[in-house]
Structure 1
């Protein structure tokens, strides 16, 4: 069968092919276009909103608790206080804050834990206080060589939000406000299906 000729002398088959190719291109643009746009926005950092909804420093490099120098298999969200030295006043304030935030989670409190990782042995007086006032506080030894590589130029005690897979999510220093920390953790728990 040959091509159908219209009175105007044009062929219907080439027109259908052209229309089919145009439809295929449009479908590909609809499917692949948004992915290409999102990749470009991420790589080139354009049209990225300046505002943020969290208060700490976002750790987006895939760094985990193990790279920080802490060995544990905790499978819940964790408020981890780290200090390369003894637990000074800032460290003690963050330990207190971590416990208060966990309590502040209310019915979600069982989804999180609080912990302290210290690079040096704690004083006997502070160990006794922790045993008396913080019975659920998990304590870990901090591998200082790994911690210094992971923490870089960070000085003093830090508080980290760690997800159930052991990934570091957010970091705070001793100036953090308890309400900001609680709001960040609540937001993460709301979005999370794990832990």
Structure 2
């Protein structure tokens, strides 16, 4: 018994049509078995309409509909619209990033690690090495990913509070790290909770 949208053929093409290789023009002896009806291709053991397939790039790599990939190194950013349509726009990596392959996939990745600092009454140094000093008395977002990355989402907050009850003087009183559903706080005197 064949799956829906497939039919048994006594002498069909030697290659099986799929989203990655929809063509049935191949050489070899004919074979008997279940073949997808015209307009359908195999995905696993079932037949799907060919227009629901993803995309192929110039190197014949297959992408699912909605998948976003870099093309031509990192000079193109492409989204698979489905039905073998890969929509690409020009792209350049940020000056702090470089185009390289990680796990076989091209992308714009940070050139180097960087550090941001909150200290004292309060002094802030950002990832781009700019310094800020201000006496705010609030909780501030210190760091979080600004776009989709391979790292889990995280957020680092700092609490500023007044020193000696003087409204014009404040300091960093706590740092809170939120990651993977856990909150770790570093308080005054190095107390971790």
| TM-score, normalising length: structure 1 | 0.26
Where relative contact order (Cα < 8 A, 6+ residues apart) is larger, the structure is 1
| TM-score, normalising length: structure 2 | 0.26
- The structure in which a higher percent of residues are helix is 1
